[in-house]
């Protein structure tokens, strides 16, 4: 990871962005305190995500489909719990 000051970032922005394109990360610091990290954006996926990668890893029981208890429903709706 490359560590640069704000001044270095402003002065060498194009060069640093080329390095980021090539996979390096840039840590931007102000008064020697990290304030930002510049990294490349992963490429957009060209194929659909595969389905079923976790098949057999867990089981959804019938209980999952039952209604939630009233106190939990109220919490989701932002209401105060009843005493």
Q: Where are the domains of the chain?
A: 2-38
Length of the chain: 83
40-50 confidence digits (pLDDT tens): 998 898 999 89
Q: For the ranges 10-14, 25-29, 47-51, which has the lowest average pLDDT? A: 47-51
- Above 90 in pLDDT, residue 14? yes
- Above 70 in pLDDT, residue 83? no
pTM attached to this predicted model:
0.55
CB atoms within 10 A of CB 16: 19
DSSP letters of the chain?
-EEEEHHHHHHTHHHHHHHHHTT--EEEEETTEEEEEE-PPPPPPSSPPPS-TTTTT----GGGGSPPPHHHHHHHTTPPPP-
């Amino acid at each position: 990871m490359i560590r640069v000051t704000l001044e270095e970032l402003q002065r060498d922005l194009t060069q640093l962005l080329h390095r980021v394109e090539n996979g390096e990360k840039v840590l931007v610091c102000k008064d020697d305190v990290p304030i930002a990290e510049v990294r490349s954006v992963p490429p957009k996926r060209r194929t659909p995500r595969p389905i079923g990668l976790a098949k057999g890893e867990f089981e959804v029981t019938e209980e999952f489909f039952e209604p939630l208890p009233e106190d939990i429903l109220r919490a989701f709706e932002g209401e105060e719990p009843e005493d």
